[in-house]
Amino acid sequence: MEFKLEAHRIVSISLGKIYNSRVQRGGIKLHKNLLVSLVLRSARQVYLSDPCPGLYLAGPAGSPAAPPQQPGEPAAGPPAGWGEPPPPAACAAWPETEPQPERPADPAPPRVGAAEPAAPVTGAGDALRAGEVEEAEAAWRRVEGPREAAEGGAGVFAGAEGPRGARRHCGCPPGGEDRPGALGACPRVDCRCAPRPAEDEPPAPPAVGPRKRGAAGVGGGPAGGPAPGSSPLKKPRRNSEEQPGGAEEEEEMETGNVANLISIFGSSFSGLLRKSPGGGREEAEGEESGPEAAEPGQICCDKPVLRDINPWSTAIVAF
C-alpha cells in the first residue's frame, strides 16, 4: 500500500511539474520534462500494478490512474470505482512492470469524490441511465483512466465478487469487461446491484463501445453512451467547466519546438503508453489522458472549479 501511496504522490507531483513547466521562463525544458515523464510512467505503472485494495483511495486519496491500454486487451471497463479484480487471464496479460509486493489485485480507482454521486457507469446494459451516467462519467473519466481488465488488482471489495461479478444491471461496473462488480458499494444511490454483491453473474453484454472512442465520446452528453469498455481515452470536451481553449495555443507553441508539452504528454512518449492495436493515436492520447487527465492540447480547467474533487483528480485535471 505504501508503494501505491507513494506512487500516487509522485504522479501528482509530476503532473504539477509538467504544468508549471509550461509557464516558466525560457520555454519548456525538454530534458527535465522528459525525465518527469519517465518518473510519471514508472509511478503510474507501480500505482496501477500495486494490488492493494483501493478502499483507502475512495476518499481523499484520489482517483486511480488509468491503466495503460494493453494491446489486445478488451476495452477497458469503466472505472471500476470499486476496484474489481480483473479476471485472472487479464492479470497475466498485464505487461511486466515493476515488481510489486503483491500481485493479485489492482487498486480500483476510487470514484471521484463528490463530483459525482452516480456510478461511473458504463452503461452496459443500462440504456436508461445512459444519459445521466454520461454526465457523471464524463467528469469521472476525466480523472480516471480506463479501467482495464488487465489491471490486476483486487478491487476494494474484491473479495466476494468473483471476477465476473457484474453490476451490469445497474450499469455500475465495467460493462464490457469481465470485471467483478463492486461489492455492494455501488456508488449509485439507486443502484440495484447493491443487493447482489455476492452474486457471480456473467458480465452483461458490454455496451462496450469500441475501444477507440471518438472525440465525441464522453464528455458532452454523447448520445451513444460511452462505450463502457472503451478507455476514457480522449475526453475531449469533458465538462463545460473545462476550457478547451488552450489547445490551439499549445499547438502553436509546438512548431518545431517540443514546447507543446500537452500534446506530447497527451500522447506521451513511447513507453508511457501502451498503444492498443486498434486505438492508435487516439487511444494513446486518451489513455495517457486518463491519469493525466489532460487531453492533448487541452488546457487545464480552473482548479477552483474542481476543488471538491480529490487532490488526485485536481492535479490530473490541472494538467
Partner 1 sequence: MAISRGLARRTVPEAADIISTVEFNHTGELLATGDKGGRVVIFQREPESKNAPHSQGEYDVYSTFQSHEPEFDYLKSLEIEEKINKIKWLPQQNAAHSLLSTNDKTIKLWKITERDKRPEGYNLKDEEGKLKDLSTVTSLQVPVLKPMDLMVEVSPRRVFANGHTYHINSISVNSDCETYMSADDLRINLWHLAITDRSFNIVDIKPANMEDLTEVITASEFHPHHCNLFVYSSSKGSLRLCDMRAAALCDKHSKLFEEPEDPSNRSFFSEIISSVSDVKFSHSGRYMLTRDYLTVKVWDLNMEARPIETYQVHDYLRSKLCSLYENDCIFDKFECAWNGSDSVIMTGAYNNFFRMFDRNTKRDVTLEASRESSKPRAVLKPRRVCVGGKRRRDDISVDSLDFTKKILHTAWHPAENIIAIAATNNLYIFQDKVNSEMH
Contact residues toward partner 1 (CB under 8 A) are 6-7, 10, 13, 17, 25-27, 29-32, 34-35, 38-39, 42-43, 46, 98, 252-253, 255-259, 264, 267-271, 284
Nearer Cβ to partner 1 (80/259): 259
Q: How far apart are CA 137 and CA 178, in angstroms?
A: 19
Nearer Cβ to partner 1 (180/296): 296
Nearer Cβ to partner 1 (182/259): 259
Please, what is the end-to-end C-alpha distance for the chain in angstroms? 25
Q: In the complex, what is the shortest distance from the CB of residue 4 to partner 1, in angstroms, rounded to a whole number?
A: 12
CA distances to 30, 160, 252, 293, 307 from 79, in Å? 32, 19, 34, 14, 21
Q: In the complex, what is the shortest distance from the CB of residue 50 to partner 1, in angstroms, rounded to a whole number?
A: 13
Q: In the complex, what is the shortest distance from the CB of residue 6 to partner 1, in angstroms, rounded to a whole number?
A: 7
The answer to whether 278 and 27 have CB atoms below 8 angstroms apart is no
Nearer Cβ to partner 1 (270/304): 270
Nearer Cβ to partner 1 (193/315): 315
The answer to whether 310 and 113 have CB atoms below 8 angstroms apart is yes
Considering only CA atoms, which of 69, 96, 73 is closest in space to residue 267?
A: 69
Nearer Cβ to partner 1 (99/304): 99
Q: In the complex, what is the shortest distance from the CB of residue 65 to partner 1, in angstroms, rounded to a whole number?
A: 14
Q: In the complex, what is the shortest distance from the CB of residue 253 to partner 1, in angstroms, rounded to a whole number?
A: 6
The answer to whether 75 and 208 have CB atoms below 8 angstroms apart is yes
Considering only CA atoms, which of 242, 28, 50 is closest in space to residue 153?
A: 50
Nearer Cβ to partner 1 (31/304): 31
Give the type of residue at 306. Answer: L
Q: What single DSSP character describes residue 180?
A: P
Q: How far apart are CA 288 and CA 186, in angstroms?
A: 26
**Rounded to the nearest 10 degrees, how much is the dihedral formed by the CA atoms of 19, 23, 29, 34?**
10
Q: For 94-131, b where at least 16 C-beta lie within 10 A, e where not — what string?
A: beebeebeeebbbbbbbbbbebbebbbbbbbbbeebbe
Q: In the complex, what is the shortest distance from the CB of residue 290 to partner 1, in angstroms, rounded to a whole number?
A: 16
Q: In the complex, what is the shortest distance from the CB of residue 81 to partner 1, in angstroms, rounded to a whole number?
A: 26
